[in-house]
């Protein structure tokens, strides 16, 4: 049967274009003036209205809420990048995000003596998230991710969903009934 390649495939073209061939997790994302950056600056998201550290925390929260090991950080960065823009237009939202991230970091500091993003194990970070889960801020971030993360066509591919088919004539000749292992 026709199966979907779920791994990130690096063609020569993509390497030449952006030097994007960096494996997630080898080098952590970094914060700098006005943004958060992927390893080797393979990707960047703006932090013009929110603090770069706050944006970094949102990205890490996104991964910890919906952790997919085959998704690089850039997909999580894309999923939350809109908050920086929104914070530029909505002072109340900006204050809420900054305050809530400060609260989360405060819980992390009390327990581990470091910022949320610097807590090493996912299970420990998730335990911190459970302390704010169900609250309005956590639910806003989580609810936003349902669309912000899972509606990215690149994410569809990574998780094995092919998306639109009508422009290709449907699946009639492309494996709608090719299951052969029963």
Question: Residues interacting with other proteins, by CB under 8 A?
Answer: 1-4, 6, 64-70, 122, 126, 133, 142, 146-147, 149-151, 155-156, 159-167, 169-172, 174-179, 181-182
Closest approach of Cβ 1 to other proteins, in Å? 6
10 Å CB burial of residue 141 (0-12, 13-18, 19+) is buried
Closest approach of Cβ 133 to other proteins, in Å? 8
CA–CA dist 6, 163 (Å, integer): 14
Closest approach of Cβ 42 to other proteins, in Å? 23
Both tokens of 167, joined, read 């422009």
Closest approach of Cβ 23 to other proteins, in Å? 18
Q: Which is nearer to other proteins, 11 or 177 (CB)?
A: 177
Asked if 117 and 105 touch (Cβ cutoff 8 Å), the reply is: no
Q: Which is nearer to other proteins, 10 or 171 (CB)?
A: 171
Q: Which is nearer to other proteins, 44 or 129 (CB)?
A: 129
- Kindly write down the DSSP assignment for every residue of 98-116, as one continuous string: HHHHHHHHHHHHHHHSS-G
Q: Which is nearer to other proteins, 58 or 149 (CB)?
A: 149
Which of 85, 86, 83, 72 lies closest to 38 in space, CA to CA? Answer: 72
């Amino acid at each position: 049967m026709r199966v979907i390649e779920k791994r990130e495939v690096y063609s020569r073209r993509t390497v030449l274009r952006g030097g994007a061939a960096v494996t997630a997790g080898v080098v952590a994302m970094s914060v700098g003036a006005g943004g958060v950056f992927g390893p080797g600056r393979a990707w960047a998201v703006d932090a013009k209205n929110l603090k770069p550290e706050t944006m970094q925390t949102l990205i890490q929260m996104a991964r910890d809420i919906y952790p997919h090991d085959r998704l690089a950080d850039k997909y999580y960065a894309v999923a939350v990048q809109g908050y920086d823009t929104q914070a530029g237009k909505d002072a109340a939202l900006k204050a809420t995000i900054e305050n809530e991230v400060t609260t989360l970091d405060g819980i992390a500091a009390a327990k581990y003596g470091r910022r949320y993003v610097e807590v090493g194990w996912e299970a420990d970070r998730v335990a911190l998230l459970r302390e704010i889960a169900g609250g309005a801020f956590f639910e806003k971030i989580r609810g936003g991710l349902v669309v912000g993360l899972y509606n990215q066509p690149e994410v569809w591919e990574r998780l094995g969903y092919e998306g639109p088919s009508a422009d290709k004539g449907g699946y009639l000749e492309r494996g709608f009934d090719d299951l052969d292992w029963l």
